[in-house]
Amino acid sequence: MKTFYQELQKHHWHDQIASIQKKNEKDVRRALDAEYRGLEEFKALISPAAEPFLEEMAQRSMELTRKRFGRTIQLYIPLYLSNFCTNSCIYCGFSCSNTVERKVLSIEEVDLEVAAIKKMGYDHILLVSGEAPGQVNSVYFEEVLARIRNDFSQLAMEVQPLEQHEYEQLIDCGLSFVCIYQETYNQHNYGSYHPQGPKADFRYRLETPDRLGRARIHKIGLACLLGLEDWRTDSLFTAMHLDYLEKMYWRTRFSVSLPRLRPHDGQFRPRHVVGDRSMVQLICAWRLFSPEVEISISTRESSRFRDNILRLGVTSFSAGSSTKPGGYANPGDELQQFSVDDNRSPKEIADMIRQRGYEPVWKDWDKNIHPPITR
């Protein structure tokens, strides 16, 4: 069965770096003036040659975003179900090589978290866990989804990759959105960041969006972890992945997240630090490449940065996030999966959004507008 893995084998990492670096001012001008922008235009817009055009890119990105999404920013919150993990990703606080207290929420504890999250105003939720099939697996996810499906308009998950039939069962329990981040598309170096556990299997992870598409999921979220490898090249491969998926699974919606590793994230020091101007360039390039794709920025970013880029092309922000299982009902010291920089409450972030003339939105989509895809 065809998957993105076969597509990826046609492109060599170093050839793509060279091809991005070769883009010049004329290529950027052509990309900006194009009616339809494909992967060649995306390359031009993320290239160093586009840096002097940042102002114009920002203006066009803002206009396109307003046209498609209005003046809205969707807010979302992760509910950490478990911090058990059998992987040892070298950039993550939940790595199995770290000695920390581990916990899986019981159904009663999930109820307490849901009550605390509902009080904040949310009508959709992102369920998150580490990858430990012995503790959390599709049977547990089914139980949680069935328990909370009447509490929220939409249910999303960011957990370990699953099989197509497992996704189908979870979709039947109300799941509509799955985030699965490849972290890096550099197959050669992938193993050095993911030395052990099931996540070390690059291909199985890469083919997860194909399994989701075949299961007819409503929405798929993609990302690379910016800073592991050259951000331009990894973003280009993410764009290739999106382009492929949009053609293969045309009834599914897509989002991209732009998680940025920064020097102060725990012990891990990224080799490729991504500066603020590069982040702005990337947000605008994504919007110009895909007017439809949702763009998400998490609380990893500072409040100053998030306030400044709010109008540029993003469509969703996380707010009030706790990475501790049980952390909303029982706040306190927590082991961080990654460092959170914007610590404002959902209300404070919603107020900031309103002050900038935008509307905070507390749910993803409405079943009356987008009925589930039939199998």
Contact residues for ligand SF4, defined by CB under 6 A: 85, 87, 89, 92, 94-95, 130-131, 199
- Beta-carbon contacts of residue 9 (< 8 Å; ≥ 6 apart): none
Structure tokens given for 160: 């370990």
Choice between 47 and 87, CB closer to ligand SF4:
87
- Beta-carbon contacts of residue 171 (< 8 Å; ≥ 6 apart): 215, 216, 217, 218, 372
Choice between 194 and 232, CB closer to ligand SF4:
194
Q: What is the DSSP string of 297-364?
A: E-TTS-HHHHHHHTTTT--EEE-S---STTTTTS------SS-------HHHHHHHHHHTT-EEE-SS
Choice between 23 and 199, CB closer to ligand SF4:
199
Choice between 95 and 281, CB closer to ligand SF4:
95
Angle between the 39-46 and 276-289 helix axes, to the nearest 10 degrees? 160
State the minimum distance, in angstroms, from the CB of residue 195 to ligand SF4: 11
State the minimum distance, in angstroms, from the CB of residue 204 to ligand SF4: 13
State the minimum distance, in angstroms, from the CB of residue 60 to ligand SF4: 34
Choice between 199 and 219, CB closer to ligand SF4:
199
- Beta-carbon contacts of residue 133 (< 8 Å; ≥ 6 apart): 86, 160, 198
What are the strands, taking DSSP E only, across 168-310?
175-179, 219-222, 253-257, 294-297
Choice between 69 and 94, CB closer to ligand SF4:
94
State the minimum distance, in angstroms, from the CB of residue 43 to ligand SF4: 28
Choice between 21 and 336, CB closer to ligand SF4:
336
State the minimum distance, in angstroms, from the CB of residue 366 to ligand SF4: 31
Q: What are phi and psi of 307, to 5 degrees?
A: -60, -40
State the minimum distance, in angstroms, from the CB of residue 94 to ligand SF4: 4
State the minimum distance, in angstroms, from the CB of residue 289 to ligand SF4: 27
Choice between 199 and 306, CB closer to ligand SF4:
199
CA dist 51 and 42 (Å) reads: 13
The answer to whether the beta carbons of residues 157 and 221 sit under 8 Å apart is no
Q: What letters, b where the CB count within 10 A reaches 16 and e where it falls short, cover 57-71?
A: bbebbeebbeeebee
Half-sphere exposure of 110 (CA within 13 A, CB side): 22
Choice between 182 and 290, CB closer to ligand SF4:
182
Choice between 89 and 239, CB closer to ligand SF4:
89
CA dist 62 and 52 (Å) reads: 17
Partner residues linked to 256 by β-bridges: 222, 295
- Beta-carbon contacts of residue 333 (< 8 Å; ≥ 6 apart): none
State the minimum distance, in angstroms, from the CB of residue 255 to ligand SF4: 19
State the minimum distance, in angstroms, from the CB of residue 173 to ligand SF4: 23
Q: What letters, b where the CB count within 10 A reaches 16 and e where it falls short, cover 273-285?
A: ebeeebbbbbbbb
State the minimum distance, in angstroms, from the CB of residue 259 to ligand SF4: 10
N-terminal to C-terminal alpha carbon distance within the chain: 18
Closest residue by Cα to residue 362 from 76, 69, 116: 76
